[in-house]
Amino acid sequence: MATNVIVINKDKSFIKGLKYSLEQENFIVDIALCIKDAIDLLKKKEFDLVIMDILLPDGNGLLLLKAVREYSQVPIIVLTDKKEELTEILALEYGADDYITNPINLMVFKAKLRAILRRANMNNVEIDNHTVKIDNFVINTVGRRISINGRSVILTGKEFDLFYLLITNPGKVFTREEILKTVWGYDYYGDLRTVDVHIRRLREKIEDDSSNVEYIHTKWGEGYYFKKKEKSVSTE
């Protein structure tokens, strides 16, 4: 099945080359040269993947990223020339699934895209037992949604994968390297703080007090783990 992708970038020559390369892999590629064009396309069509720069001619791409993430869990890859740690952290805070800087190896880049898409689509096949209940959480593995005490919580794709990894392995401490390998699905050569950013966002969404956590704990010098409040785990 073809994958619908939108590439948002002001560099026409770069887009032309990337579009051609992706189309060889059965991607259907739409392009937008600015935020306005991107918004128009995003309103008209549903995409499986967003590849976007944040250096756009009519505004800050981070704001577009944040706006998309408020209503959609579509995988978002930031692909940019901007090599700045603060910008990378902000992009991840706003919901980007990955932050990649140019120049890129197209073979590696497409492998990363496929890995992200596999994880985004891994639960699209209907199964009978798709609801997991642990403590105060109800997790829908098909819809990739969670609720806490009946309150729905919107997670990005990577936040869901990270949360699911931790909650289904209660008490097990995962290093940041292990989390990157498991959740991101490939050898990640970026900053390990990517994990810290996602952990912080998760805590802000699921903890009553993110400074006094109940569920996602840190084992200093080692990594992160989920602490259960109850013994029972059931599926239905």
Domains identified in the chain and CATH numbers: 3-121 (3.40.50.2300), 131-235 (1.10.10.10)
Beta strands in 98-196 (DSSP E): 98-101, 131-134, 137-140, 145-148, 151-153
List the chain residues with pLDDT less than 70: 1, 120-130, 186-191, 229-236
CA gap 144, 166 in Å, rounded: 15
CB atoms within 10 A of CB 22: 21
The pLDDT value recorded for residue 189 is 55
The per-residue pLDDT for range 196-225, each reduced to its tens digit, is: 999 999 999 998 887 788 999 999 989 999
- Measured between alpha carbons, how far is residue 191 from residues 27, 32, 98, 113, 182 in Å? 29, 29, 11, 19, 16
The pLDDT value recorded for residue 188 is 53
- Measured between alpha carbons, how far is residue 161 from residues 7, 164, 183, 188 in Å? 24, 5, 6, 16
Q: Are 102 and 82 in contact (CB under 8 A)?
A: no
CA gap 39, 64 in Å, rounded: 8
CB atoms within 10 A of CB 168: 14
Q: Are 129 and 232 in contact (CB under 8 A)?
A: no
145-165 in b/e burial notation, b at 16+ Cβ within 10 A?
ebebeeeeeebbbbbbbbbbb
The pLDDT value recorded for residue 234 is 37
The pLDDT value recorded for residue 190 is 56
